[in-house]
Every structure is written in C-alpha cells, then in structure tokens.
Amino acid sequence: MDSYANLIPLVILVPAIGALINLFLGHKLGERLSGLVGVTASVLAFIFSVLIFAYLSDPAVVTGIVIDPPLLDGWIRIGSDAGFSVNIPWQFRVDTITAVMLLVVTGVGSLIHIYSIGYMHGDPKYARFFAFLNMFMMFMLILVTGNNFLMMFVGWEGVGVMSYLLIGFWWDKSAPVGWRNSDAARKAMIANRVGDFGIIMATILIFWTFGTVNYYSPGEVANSCYVLEHAESISAEQAEHGECDAEAVEAFATGAVGEHEEGEAEGSEEATEESSEVEGEANAGIVLVQETETEGEHAEEAEAEGEHGEEAAHGAHMSVEDMTNANFMPDQMGVFAQLDALVNLDEGETIPWAVSPDGTVIERGREVQFGPYSADISVVLFLIIVFIVLGVSGKSAQIPLFVWLPDAMAGPTPVSALMHAATMVTAGVYLLVRSNVFITYSPEGRLLIAIIGTATALVAGLTAVGQWDIKRVLAFSTVSQLGFMVAAIGVGAYVAAIFHLVTHAVFKALLFLGSGSVIHGVEHGEHHVHELHAHDHHGDHHDDHGEPFDPQDMRNMGGLRARMPITFVTYLIGTFALSGLPIFAGFWSKDEILLDALVHGGESTNVLDQLSGFIVFFGLLVAAGFTAFYMWRQIQMVFFGEPRSEAARHAPESVPSMTIPLIVLAIGATFIGLINVPGGAWPFTLFYKLHEFGHFLEASIPSITTGHTLDFNWLLAGLATAVAFGAIFLAHSIYAGNKAVRGEHGAVDGRDPLQDNGSTSQIFTAANRRLYWDDFYFAVFIRPYQRIAAFFADVIDWNFWHDYVHDKVIKRGYDTISQLLANPLDIGLIDGAVNGVGRLVSYLSGRFRTAQTGYVRTYAVVLLLGVVAVIVLMVLPLIPIGS
C-alpha cells in the first residue's frame, strides 16, 4: 500500500495551479470554464484529502508523518552546520489534526466553490473570484499542513491577504449603510495585522527558547501513550507500512512489545521500576510527563539496562538518555519534545542540551537566557501563550480584536461562508490545538484562554441579538461560536474544540449559504418590483423614501418560508444545529465542551483550573442561550409572518447550483455530530464505535486528558437542551407574528420589540450598537490617532518642516548662498577674468597692428634681421670665447 500521505504536496499544488490558471487566463476562459477550473481544483484537493484521511485512520500510521517535499528541503538555511545555524525546512506534518482540517477546508470549500458558480453568475470579475478562492484554499492548506510555526505563519498571512482581497472584492461598491467594502477590508487587515504581530513575537520567542520552530522532528511521534496502546497493531503491520519510517516509532514499538513479552526481565532495580511505571501510566492513557525528572537521576543505569524500554516510554518526549548520547542539536528535536524535557526539570537541575562544535556538551536548566536577561521556562511559556492568543484573537476574531469579522460580511456571501465561518477563522483554534503542549504546562495561559473565549462567546452572542443585517447576525454568531472553541481549549478540551470546529464549519457554512440564498432572492424580488414600476409611473416605491433598499436587512424580509421552501428547511436545520437541539450537530459538540469544562474544573486541584472550568461552564451555558435566542429571532424575522417589503413578496427560490449545496450541508448538519457519539448509556451503546472522533484525534494531541472519552451526561444534556428550548420559546413569544419590526419607512426606522420594552430597550440598543465596542475603539485608538496624525500633519509637517525648515532655513539659506555665488563670484570673478582676457587681446592687437606696414621691404628687413638673429644665436655658442 502506497503512502497516501505523500499526496500532501499535491493537495496544495492543485489549488495553486487552479488559481494561476484563473489569474492569468481567466479573462479568456469565460465564466463556465473558469468556474470549472476553480471547482475542479478544489474537488481534486478534496479527493486527495479523503485519501489521506482514510490512510491516517489506520491506527498503525496515525502517529503522524513528516514529509519533506522535493526542492524545498532547505527552505531557510542560514549558517553552517557547525556553530550557529538556522535551519527551517519546508516540511509537512501529516497527522490526524491535519487530516481533519484538510477535510473541513477542502470539503466545505468544494461545496462553496460549487455554490459560487451560481452566486457569482454574471459578475465581471468572475475568474478573479475563483482564483482568489483557490489561492485562499492553497494558503489555508499550507497553514494546516506545515510542520513548523513559520510555515504556519506563511499560510496565516496568506489567508489574511486573501481575506482582505475577498472582503474588498466589490471594492468599488458603495454600501447603502455604513462601511464601504474597501473600508471593511482594510479594517480586517489592520485588526489581523495587530494579531499577526503576536504570532511573529511568539515565533521569535519560540525560536529563541528552543532553537527551532518545528513542531516535531521526523523521528518523533506526537503521543507516546497512544502508540503504547496501539503498539501491537503497529508492530504487526509495520512490515506492511514501510512508510512508518520514524525510527522512534520503530524503536518504540519493538521496545514496547518486548516489554510486554519479557515482563520484568531487566536487571537494575531502578530501570524495572521505571518500566513498570511507564507501562502502567501509559495504559491509563496519561501523558508521561513526570518521568523525565526521575529518570534524570537514573540516566546511566536506565540507558545501560533498558534502552529500548526508555525510548519507548518517551517516544516523542525526548528522554534524558537520548540527550546524554549527546549527538543531537536542538533543531533535530521538535519544540514540544524539548518543552517536555525542560519543563519537568527541578530548580537547579540541568540536562545536556546541545553539543557545541568543539564537542563540549551544553547544559541547560529551567532558566531561558535572553541576552542579558533570563526567565524561568514557565514565564516564557506564559509569554508565548499570550502572544499566540493575541494572534488567535486577530484571526479567530476573539476579544479584543473581533471587531473586523462582522464588517467582513461586506464580501461575497460564499466568502463569508468559506473564510469567515468555516475555515480561515478556525486557524486560530487549529493553532491553539497544535500548541496544546504549551497550554498544558501553563495554568495561567489556560485561564487566559478560557476567559477570552468565554467573554467572546458572551459578548458576541449578546451583540448578535441586536443586529438587523441577516449576515451580521451570523457573523456575530460565528465570533461567539469561535469563542466556544477557544474556551474549550482553555479547559484542555482539544478534541471538543476540534469537534465543534468541524460541526460548526458544516452548519455555519449552511447558514451563510442559506442567507446568501435569501439575499439573492430578495435582490431578485427587488429587481422584479422595479421592473413592474418601470411600466406604471406611480413612483410609489415602498422602500425608497430617499434611502436605498438594503436586501440584507431582516426588517425588509418576512414570510419567505413559502417563497423559498428549500432555503427555509435547510436554514431551519442549520438553526437547530447551531442552537444545539438534540440529534443535530451542535448538540453533541457543544455539550462535549460544557461537559469537559465541568469535569476539568471539578477534578482539578489547581485553583486556576477550577476557576477556568467554572467560568467556561456557566459562561458558555448563557452564551448557548443567546445562540438559540438570536437564531430563532432571525428565523421569525426572515421566514415567518407577513412579507414586510415588496421585494420579499416577490423573492424567488434560488437556482439548483445554490440549493444543492444547501441540501448537502443540511444533511451534514443533521448527522455529523454522530461521528463522536459518547458512550455510557443505552441508545449510544448501539453505535459501532464510541468516541470515534476523539480516538482518532488523540493520536495527535500529546497532552490530551481523559476528557475526550467522557460518558454522556444526561443531566448536562438536559440542562443545555432546556436552555436552548427556553431561549427559542422566549424568542418565539417575542417575535412570532410581530410586525413591529417594520417602520413607516421600511427598514430604516423599523423597531425591535425588545427596543420598545422599557426594561430591555437599553440592552437592545447597546447590542445594536455592538456594545459600543467600535465606538470605544474609535474613542481610544482611532480618534487619538487621527488627532495625532493631524497634529503631525499640520504642526510638525506643515508648520515646522514645510514653513520653517523648508521655506525659512533651507530655501532662504539656499537663496543667500546662490546670491553670494552668483554676484561676486560668478559675475565678478569668473566673468571678469574671461572678459579681461578678451579686452587684453583686443588692446594688444590694436597696438601690434601698426607693425603691419604693408611694405614688402619692411617685412624683408624684419625677416633678414630675424635670420641674422637666428644665425647669431646658433653660431655664437660655437665660438670658443676666451680660450
């Protein structure tokens, strides 16, 4: 069986080629062909991803593979091998997290490509749109497949640029209300740049601390415990899977098996103790992080006695013995393995860290040296996490940088679905899961992440309640759901975060595409109305009182249930999935997060962890209530009641190329939660495999806790469902059949029932104004910035530099000097000299002319005298005088 993992370069190359074709030939291809190119590229990438996924689902290979693509081996290489050197190879990390992300990106991406064929029909920049989509996909794939933080950053920046280009895709369109598209694009770019600064700082700090930015070295596996559990299947199938070439895994598997067979055959007492401890804990599925320190003491014995066993015990976690072998440099060891070794050192204890060119072994303790400063590894770790979280808050729209995502809805709807709901914004979650080892060792970091995630989920959930724009509700919902994922990571629930990421990708893509379908329908309805009015010149445009018609404003909608049945049903399914009603996708993933938070907080002895578990559990429960509330509000306003505009009255159902992806996604949104059915109670035991998804992912998450295999909790599920139903009931009672949201002049002055209720009007207004967050930024950052800019422009630049320095100092000085040079020097001296020579010549010639008598005789005499003089001069020296 050939290794499908080697398809990874192709997965990236295919969208790249598609993008290039559309970029350079798109205008010649025409709409049909360039759409075909774009869709083919993404579908091919999807097929490859499925093959890779299938290959990795074999337990013998899930430990992860590092692939060096040809040509790019020495991507960044500075310095020689001896002494200081930086070597960052372009390597792909293929493990189960990668595989899941690949499926999400290419799967949802392909559906959105197909949907775009219909949605972008007739757009003059059709080919460019598909080129951008393909290129975005390429960068996203680089992001999730890279084996180091720098490759991740390449993808990270790439998706940022594509996001900027796609948000501003209709840059020349002036929005009817609020921001122009280009403003939104710039806002997204700037907010992201602030976050990117964090990523850069984190990468630099990581490199400084560990001497490498690689996640793993080719020989390392992520999760030694997982390998131990599956050791037998690995060794049995190893011959078949030649590509499981990682030496550590091999040594590991053989060692582990040998251990099983030989039992306590080792000689030394210490070594025996170690191995039994290793075996016991490994079988319990707990990462063996404590071993390194104890083994430090018994390094030599252990190495002598049970080398294989020791390697087996650690696998990914480079053991002290390996380091005593002193044949590695830090860049031969991934960041996470190094971290494992460092963090577990005691105060004052050191380990051999690297070998300098002259052969001396460099020791290293917990202190990390930064030039003249040094810090404990845990402080450095917290700093790294803070910077990573800053980056995540930019890309994944968390507090404090979430403000850009709602404005990003200015872009075409497929973009909103693909990038701003399903893929790009999950990059931050992916990065956090990737960095799980960091997070595991830093309780402060966990608390920070938990607080940010929960706060984001709450703030964005509340804000979504107050929005009029159909896509903006979904945008704030996305921000809120991303907060759920980040909060999950804050309580160590990596699997739950990824699980929610997957389900959310499906149902939020569904909702966005559904909203795109609604907008499309309302726009067509509006055109229809205008065509009617063009015939009879009544001029009574219902929605046109000086304000342009906004097809995205929910106050213009209503009653679309009958006009757009497919869109309605699929949208309803998406709403159920997002609200977390039982059976639908969100139910499983959201409950898993809540349960993990509960267990994490309850079982931990660390007060910080208890706090974060508490915050996350109650915060997310409330946020889940918000979710169900604003979604049902939206359903009521868009699909129920009477149409509140002529456009809504005439909205047609969308074309099949748009509705078919909706149906596919709706099926997905209904059933995808079943991939990770928890065990524990009767109906679930009927399933073939329990915690399938969790088991799949755990291989890639070295610091996984037991949380991912928790049993179904009826009480919690009941509570969450009750909250969701309660919120839906509340929303229903407020919005059902209520036409108050339509004002006299259509959408412009439409009021919400919450607004007219004394006790809630303040809250609604605040939510409608986005909790004044943007105003806050305006007041704190943008206006002072503008003031300072104005000051610099007017006072410093104009008054000082222009008026004083340029006009007074430079210009006047120049004038003075040039006057000086021109008058006395040029005119006086140089001109005088030249003219003087002329005058002299003229004067002399006047004197000499009289010598010319014109008489031949005179000339003859002069000639004669001259000859005589010459002869005399010639002859005189020849005459000897006085001899």
Partner 1 sequence: MEFAVPTEFFFVLSLILFTLGALGVLLRKNAILVFMSVELMLNSANLALVAFARQWGSQEGHIFVFFVMTVAAAEVAVGLALIVAIFRSKQSINIDDLHQMEG
Binding site for partner 1 (CB under 8 A): 848-857, 860-861, 864
In the complex, least distance from residue 864 CB atom to partner 1, rounded to whole angstroms: 6
Number of H helices, E strands in the chain: 37, 8
In the complex, least distance from residue 821 CB atom to partner 1, rounded to whole angstroms: 42
User: For partner 1, which is the closer residue by CB, 70 or 854?
Assistant: 854
User: For partner 1, which is the closer residue by CB, 790 or 863?
Assistant: 863
Residue whose C-alpha is closest to residue 216's, from 322, 344, 315? 315
User: For partner 1, which is the closer residue by CB, 535 or 847?
Assistant: 847
In the complex, least distance from residue 868 CB atom to partner 1, rounded to whole angstroms: 10
Residue 396 three-state SS: coil
User: For partner 1, which is the closer residue by CB, 80 or 852?
Assistant: 852
Amino acid in position 333: M
CA distance 349 to 355: 18
Tally Cβ neighbours within 10 Å of residue 540.
8
In the complex, least distance from residue 845 CB atom to partner 1, rounded to whole angstroms: 9
In the complex, least distance from residue 819 CB atom to partner 1, rounded to whole angstroms: 45
Q: What is the DSSP string of 145-187?
A: HBSBHHHHHHHHHHHHHHHHHHHTTTTTPPPSSS--HHHHHHH
- Cα 85 to chain centroid distance, Å, stands at 28
Residue 483 three-state SS: helix
- Cα 174 to chain centroid distance, Å, stands at 28
In the complex, least distance from residue 856 CB atom to partner 1, rounded to whole angstroms: 5
CA distance 74 to 95: 22
User: For partner 1, which is the closer residue by CB, 842 or 850?
Assistant: 850
In the complex, least distance from residue 881 CB atom to partner 1, rounded to whole angstroms: 22
User: For partner 1, which is the closer residue by CB, 605 or 852?
Assistant: 852
User: For partner 1, which is the closer residue by CB, 265 or 868?
Assistant: 868
User: For partner 1, which is the closer residue by CB, 722 or 861?
Assistant: 861
The answer to whether the beta carbons of residues 302 and 271 sit under 8 Å apart is yes
User: For partner 1, which is the closer residue by CB, 736 or 865?
Assistant: 865
CA distance 392 to 388: 6
Residue whose C-alpha is closest to residue 493's, from 590, 624, 423, 581? 590
User: For partner 1, which is the closer residue by CB, 845 or 883?
Assistant: 845
User: For partner 1, which is the closer residue by CB, 71 or 875?
Assistant: 875
The answer to whether the beta carbons of residues 418 and 108 sit under 8 Å apart is yes
Q: What are phi and psi of 402, to 5 degrees?
A: -80, -5
In the complex, least distance from residue 841 CB atom to partner 1, rounded to whole angstroms: 15
- Tokens standing for 718? 């009941």
Angle at 423 (CA atoms; ends 422, 425), nearest 5 degrees = 95
CA distance 218 to 220: 6
In the complex, least distance from residue 831 CB atom to partner 1, rounded to whole angstroms: 30
User: For partner 1, which is the closer residue by CB, 356 or 853?
Assistant: 853
Residue whose C-alpha is closest to residue 286's, from 709, 3, 875? 709
Amino acid in position 749: D
The answer to whether the beta carbons of residues 543 and 508 sit under 8 Å apart is no
Which residues is 352 bridged to in the sheet?
Answer: 363
Q: What is the DSSP string of 741-778?
A: T-BTTBGGG---TTTTSHHHHHHHHHHHTGGGHHHHHI
In the complex, least distance from residue 880 CB atom to partner 1, rounded to whole angstroms: 19
User: For partner 1, which is the closer residue by CB, 856 or 875?
Assistant: 856
Which residues is 214 bridged to in the sheet?
Answer: 148
HEC states along 795-837?
A: HHHHHHHHHHHHHHHHHHHHHHHHHHHHHHHHHHHHHHHHHHH
Give every CB contact of residue 764 below 8 A, 6+ residues apart in sequence: 465, 466, 752, 754, 755
User: For partner 1, which is the closer residue by CB, 1 or 867?
Assistant: 867
